[in-house]
Amino acid sequence: MDIELRNIHKRFGAIHANNDINVQFSHGRIVGILGENGAGKSTLMKILSGFQPADAGEILIDDRTIDYTGPTAAIANGIGMLQQDPLDVGAFTVLENFIYGGADGLTLQRSQAEARLSELTARFGFELDPHQLIDNLLIAQRQQLEIVRLLALGVETLILDEPTTGISAEQKDILFNALRELARDEGMIILLVSHKLEDVIDLCDEVVVLRAGLMVGEMEMPASDSGLTSAIIAETKQRLVTMMFGEELETHSRPHYEIGAPVFAAEAIVVHDPRLDMQPISLTAHAGEVIGLAGLGGSGQEIFMRACARLGRVNSGALRFDGADVTGASYRHLFRRGCVFGAAGRLEEGLIAGLTLTEHSALVSDDKLQIDWKLVGERTVSRINHYRIKGRAADTIEQLSGGNQQRVLIGLLPDDPKLLILEQPTRGLDVDSARWIWTQLLERCRRGAAIIFNSSDLEELVTFSDRIFVFYAGRVYEVPDVAQTSIDELGHLIGGEF
C-alpha cells in the first residue's frame, strides 16, 4: 500500500488547520508527523483515518482516489488510527473490546477471538489478560489492545497519535519493537504523531513537518541501526526544532526560588492499590518547592497522588495540609483551602466536552449563581491571549488540539494556590509549549505554591524538580541530589536499581 494526500484543506472557523497539504507515504516506512501544537498534525491524520472529512482535496491509495466517510470505511480501506486516548469501553473486558471492534461484531466465537488475541499479543510481547476489565488497565496496555484490534481488522497503515505519553521506557521499547516489525516484515506504513523528538529520531525513517496548517518540509532521519552518537542526536533535534518553529529555541533552565515553610505532609501513609503491596510513604512539600514523582506506569505514583488530593483511599498514616490534619477530608474541602489536583485525562476529568472556552471560564468564576457573561467573556479572551491558546472563546473544547486543551486546563488553575498536584502537566505538548507551561507553574511557586507532579519524561523531571521520589513496585526511593543525577541514572532507578 502507498498513500498520497493531494491538496488537502480543512478549516475550523477562521483557523485554516490544513492548507493545501501534499504528501506521500510509502509502504514499509515509519514516518514522523511533527509540528507545534495546533500545526494541523492530528487534523491531517484524522482526515486520513476517516474521523474528519476534508473540506477539499483527495486521498489516493495505490494511485486510486478513495472517497470514504467515517473510521469504519477507512479501516475497510486498510487505514486505522490509534488515538491519544484509546477508543475502548471501560466496562468491557479486553476480550469483549477485541470482539466488539471486529468485523463480525458480537457474533464472533469467543474461543476463536481469544485464540486470535493470544496469537497477536504473543507475537509482539504484549501482556494482556483477556478477562481483565479495561478500567483496570494501564494506558500502555489499552494502546496494545487497540493495536492488535486494528491488526485483526487487517489495516496496512497504522496511525499513532502521541503513543508514548504516559507509558514507561520499558513499555515504549515493547511498542517500538512491534512497530519496527510491522514496517519491516509486513510492509506496513506507520505514521507517528509526536512531540517527543527523541522518539522520532529513534523510531522514524523520515519526518514530515507542519507549521500553522502548512507543510513546511520533509527530512530523512539518520539510520539508528548504525549507532546514533549524542552529537548526531543533538544536531538532528535542533534541525527539527528549527523546522517546527522557524527558529532555534534557547536552552531552558528553571529559576530556583527560596524554599519556605511546609505546606503539605504525607506521614507514613499507606495507600490502597489492589495490584501492589504499597509500603508506607512519607513526603513533605514546602512553599516554592517542586517535587517530581517518577516510575513505570502502575508503580504506585498515580494512586499516591490521588490519595494526597483525597481522591483515593488512605489505609493508614496521616495527611496534613496548611497545618491541619486532612486525612479524612474531601477533595472539595482541600480545594477550598488551596489544594488543586490536575488530572492527566483532559476530557475525562479535567474538561467538559461540549462546553465552550467561555463556559469553562464560568465554571471557575467566583460567582456561579449569577454569571456576568460579559465579564467572563473578557476573562476568557485574556486567558486565551496569556496562555497562547489557538482557539476562540466560542469554540467547544473538543474543537481544540490536544496541546491547546492542555493550555486551557492550566489556564483554569487558580492564580494563587498553596499546593498543585499535577498528573502529566505537559502531556501532549511540543517543546516550546511545555516550557511555557512550566513558566506559568513556576510563577505560582514564586508566589509560594508547592508543586507535586509526575511525568514519564525523565528530562522534565530532572530539569524542574527540586527533589525526585522514584516509585517501583510499591516502594519509594528519594533521589539524594537531583542536580547531580543524569537522565540515564534516573532511568536505572525507575527500573528498580536502587
Phi, psi for 314 (deg, rounded to 5): -110, 115
CA within 13 Å, CB half, 15 = 17
Q: Where does CATH 3.40.50.300 sit in the chain?
A: 3-245, 250-338+414-498
Write the DSSP string, 397-430: GGGS-HHHHHHHHHHTS-SS-SEEEEESTTTT--
Burial 99-110 (b: 16+ CB within 10 A, else e): bebbeeeeebee
Question: pTM value?
Answer: 0.75
- In the block, cell 466496562 appears at 91
Q: What percentage of the chain exceeds 70 in pLDDT? A: 95
Residue 48 has what pLDDT? 96
Which one has a higher pLDDT value, 305 or 367? 305
What 3-state class would DSSP assign to 388?
coil
Which one has a higher pLDDT value, 104 or 284? 284
Compute, in degrees rounded to 10, the torsion defined by CA atoms 291, 292, 293, 297. 160
The grid coordinates listed for 490 are: 534516573
pLDDT band at residue 21 using 50, 70 and 90 as cut-offs: very high
Of the candidate CATH numbers 2.40.30.30, 3.40.50.2300, 3.50.50.60, 3.40.50.300, the domain formed by 250-338+414-498 belongs to 3.40.50.300
What 3-state class would DSSP assign to 189?
strand
What 3-state class would DSSP assign to 276?
coil
Examine the pLDDT at 428 and tell me if it is beyond 80: no
pLDDT band at residue 390 using 50, 70 and 90 as cut-offs: confident
* Among 468, 467, 462, 464, CA closest to 486: 462
Q: What does the pLDDT look like over 186-234, one tens digit per residue?
A: 999 999 998 888 889 999 999 999 998 999 999 999 876 656 777 888 8
CATH class entry, domain 3-245: alpha beta
Q: What does the pLDDT look like over 440-473, one tens digit per residue?
A: 899 999 999 999 999 888 888 999 999 999 998 8
- In the block, cell 492527566 appears at 344
Distances (CA, A) of 72 to 54, 75, 276, 438: 16, 5, 39, 40
CA distance 459 to 452: 16
Residue 334 has what pLDDT? 94
Query: Are 55 and 135 a contacting pair, CB within 8 Å?
Result: no
**Burial class for 237, CB neighbours closer than 10 Å (0-12, 13-18, 19+):** middle
